[in-house]
Amino acid sequence: MKSKKVILLVDDEETILFSLQRIMELSGEFEILTAANGKEALKRIKRMIPDLILSDIAMPEMDGLELCRKIRSNEITRNIPFIFLTAKRDLMIDGFKAGGDDFIIKPFTFDEVMVKIEAMFRRVRQSQEQANQIKGELKEYGLDQVLKICAKKSISGTIILQKKGQVGEIELERGDIAKITFKDFDENAALDELRSWNTGIFVIRPLGEKLRPEFLAAYSKEKRSYKLDEAVEIAAGTWWVGRRNPKSLLQQNVYLRRFRQEENALNYLIDPGGPADFPFISKKISALLGSISKVHLYSLHSSDPGVCMNAIYLRKTNTKAVCITSEDNWSQIIHYEIHPKSVKLINNFKDNRAPLSTGHTLQYVPIPFCCEKGSFMTYDPETRVLFSGDLLSGLNSAVQEDRLYAQEEDWDGIRAYHQRYMPSSKALQAAVDQISALKPAPLIIAPQHGMILRGTIMEQILEKLYYLETGVDLMDSEKEADSMKAYIEVCNDFLKESSSFIPIDRIKQKLVEDTGLLSNCSFKDGIIEDIYHNPQETFEHLVMTVVESEEASVNNQLKSFAMKQVHAKGLPMPNLSWDSDPTLTTSPAKLFDEKKQ
């Protein structure tokens, strides 16, 4: 029997609420939950996660815009389709900014509502199909390599190739080619033509399985084309000369840009890093320039010692090296023994543009409070590389040490970094708007920490960052201190109990490697010291992190302990994904003999 979709209706007008509920329930396709405002809706969601939310905007206590923001900021609910009901068309932009997916304008007909809902569920199905597929560029892999990967993994499904409006398809059965289609070519000619393509895109669309981004990463030509213990050219005349440290979540990116005009050359270092990384950075720079003393210019995007302190060594090797920074940063950087006469402030350049003696121009883009008041970015319009400083930096896990470029799963580390260090979403939104206004648009974003962004991943992460709540946005005034204290206690009680089943070193390792937890709480030596926001979600996250990959009996026993602890404290029951727990007893398909009834 087909299960019903659960729809949450949120409206303070009882007549609309009742009428919509009545019509939808009569269709026989939906189970309906109702709420009179956003606050009540959040309580409903704690008991049952809906498949779709249909909400008015103007409501008492909590309006629809705020409700939508809270839905989008929660890991569990952020992907729920959200449709706004409103009589005011001028609120549509605000609704989309809050994270809404669609609108229904009042007054509306019930047919219109049903059509919108059906269309939304259709889009969700299509999105799920897209989420199961993998896209790539033929210039990076080539069809022969794609076919080898699919054969090795015994993929069944379709490979779709596209170049300048031409489309070819290859059907696979357990990795073997079953059928090839391209124009009216026979299969041999079609295969020869598609194999010759060295530009364009391909999509692997599997049957009955989901492919993760790392499916292709292990075979990427790009991954094998550089070594991270050497300088890596990320754009023409632009090198990454940073360090990947396996013992750190915060990887240091340093960049070298070499400007040339005939015999004239200027070497420009972006964010020289801290003393611990200096031996690695200087070795790479020397391999390119012959000596680190040939660095003529260097920029300091923030006053962080981990970003700035190598400026001391630069000054000792070349006393004429010029430092470029902002006025607000300089008030802190002055303590790093940098002579004031060697400093150029971006505020003093006309239109924040620095004309270089080689004929090139650099554009400086102030982004206040990302994360310091004096933060700024440096844009090179020739290579279209944007050096973004702290903005778009990320925390790295151990499995990311050998990569330089961002993938979809790196969003968790980027989100954690911004929620930990950025003071507010307004600062982020202003910064993203600044990036959108750059002409020509950047092709590469190179941050101080974490992964370099490019292509569609860059666009996706910028969009997510625009709506991310950080800093003061995460302060929930309604959470009382005693409730927060109770959650800290149950977290630590749970960790203590877990150590009876799991070695404490393994627990600590799990906590340290989970970048998602870093944005919600602080811990030291395996003890939770503070929870910054979302205490219930943090506790749920902690439990699931600790029990992951453990034996079934341990998994079940620790989850049961967690339930008892929150119940004893009078806290809401946590959502611990019991449906996926292999230790739970399942009922047989048939309980009764229908023939004898």
What pLDDT is attached to residue 91? Answer: 82
Q: How far is CA 296 from CA 233, 270, 305, 317, 324, in A?
A: 19, 11, 21, 11, 11
CB–CB of 491/528 below 8 Å?
Answer: yes
Domain count for the chain, please give it.
4
159/99 same-domain check: no
What pLDDT is attached to residue 397? Answer: 57
271/359 same-domain check: yes
Q: Is residue 9 part of a domain?
A: yes
Q: How far is CA 111 from CA 22, 27, 363, 372, in A?
A: 13, 12, 53, 52
521/426 same-domain check: no
Per-residue pLDDT of 362-408, as tens digits, reads 999 999 999 899 999 999 999 999 999 999 999 875 445 578 888 87
What pLDDT is attached to residue 128? Answer: 61
Strands 82-86 and 264-270: what pairing? Answer: unpaired
Low-confidence ranges of the chain (pLDDT < 50): 1, 221-224, 398-399, 477-478, 579-587, 591, 597
What pLDDT is attached to residue 289? Answer: 94
Q: Is residue 352 part of a domain?
A: yes
419/506 same-domain check: no
Amino acid of residue 133: Q
Domain boundary among 95, 127, 159: 127
Q: Look up the CATH number of the domain holding residue 351.
A: 3.60.15.10
439/489 same-domain check: no
What pLDDT is attached to residue 401? Answer: 57
DSSP secondary structure code for residue 486 in this structure: H
Query: pTM value?
Result: 0.52
Q: Is residue 181 part of a domain?
A: yes
What pLDDT is attached to residue 579? Answer: 43
What pLDDT is attached to residue 63? Answer: 93
Q: Is residue 356 part of a domain?
A: yes
314/187 same-domain check: no
Q: Is residue 586 part of a domain?
A: no
Q: Look up the CATH number of the domain holding residue 67.
A: 3.40.50.2300
Q: Is residue 594 part of a domain?
A: no
Q: Is residue 489 part of a domain?
A: yes
Q: Is residue 585 part of a domain?
A: no
What pLDDT is attached to residue 131? Answer: 57
Domain boundary among 161, 190, 222: 222
What pLDDT is attached to residue 218? Answer: 52
Ordered DSSP codes for 508-563: HHHHHH-HHHHTTEEEETTEEEEE-S-HHHHHHHHHHHHHTTS-HHHHHHHHHHHH
Per-residue pLDDT of 51-102, as tens digits, reads 899 999 999 999 999 999 999 887 678 888 999 988 887 788 888 888 898 8
424/302 same-domain check: yes
318/456 same-domain check: yes
Residue of 6, 81, 101 whose CA lies nearest to 50:
6
DSSP secondary structure code for residue 245 in this structure: -
What pLDDT is attached to residue 287? Answer: 94
Residue of 536, 530, 426 whose CA lies nearest to 470:
426
Q: Classify the phi-psi angles of 141: left when phi > 0, otherwise alpha if psi is within -120 to 50, otherwise beta.
A: alpha
Domain boundary among 93, 109, 127: 127
359/266 same-domain check: yes
232/206 same-domain check: no
Range of the structural domain that residue 44 is part of? 5-127
209/98 same-domain check: no
157/285 same-domain check: no
Supply 487's token pair. Answer: 């959650």
What pLDDT is attached to residue 580? Answer: 46
